Structure 1
Amino acid sequence: MKLLKSWTVYSKEDTQSIAAELSERFSAGDVILLQGNLGSGKTFLVQAICKLWHVSEEVTSPTFTLIQNYSGKFIVNHIDLYRIERVEELDQLGWEEMIYSDAVTFIEWPDKVETILNSFYKINIELNNNTRTFKLFQNK
């Protein structure tokens, strides 16, 4: 996996600037894994990107629904695997149809699926004292 870029942010406005850059990089068919602790800003980043893509619906954390779908510049699948215990459960969610579509798919808590995906971006978010570090990787 190749490190493409790293940012240190101090505010939500800084995160929105990262979202602007990422919204230009990502395109139809991309899968983006979001790795970070609770409260690290995974959903906030997806919200900021979706806003830039003119998604009119409220973008919320899919922790309890597992999947949220949105329409804007792209179809967006927002998946949260926090409550998934086994990879086999993904078949019931229509997993393959989502990740092999023309949608942009964001996956929070991707540990269970990272090894079964071929091509994806990964964003690691680390909380530090008063900052967050975002690292963008690409796996082709």
Structure 2
Amino acid sequence: MPASIGARPNILWICTDQQRWDTLGCYGNPHVHTPNLDRLAAQGTVFTHAYSQSPVCTPSRASFLTGRYPRTTRCRQNGQDIPADEVLVTKLLADAGYVGGLSGKLHLSACNPAASPLGERRIDDGYAVFHWSHTPLPSKIMATD
């Protein structure tokens, strides 16, 4: 059901890793069956002309989380932290009263302990629940509340 005029919209932001645009039914793939994602897409917004800001993971993630180009986020290669002074959209949404969560790997900080000795330090950027892992079963589960 659509939100009433003036009501805050519900936001479900799904980002997948290393997935081409044409691997979902909602984008016309006849061989892959994704009925739940197709239903969400039919009821929401689908981006048909979106492009990666960088061919490298961390700079691309820094860009879509800040809304800025990689050269302006100072995050230009994998293995770097997104600088602490960069404001992420998740933090802006949390400050506006939205509840956010993350599950999977996002590399908001460098994975290399030498580069980021405190581990994933960006969990306070608006995530109420943070399930971070490189494996199917989360090895680190943190709640920020």
**Normalised TM-score (structure 1):** 0.34
Which of the two has higher C-alpha Rg? 2
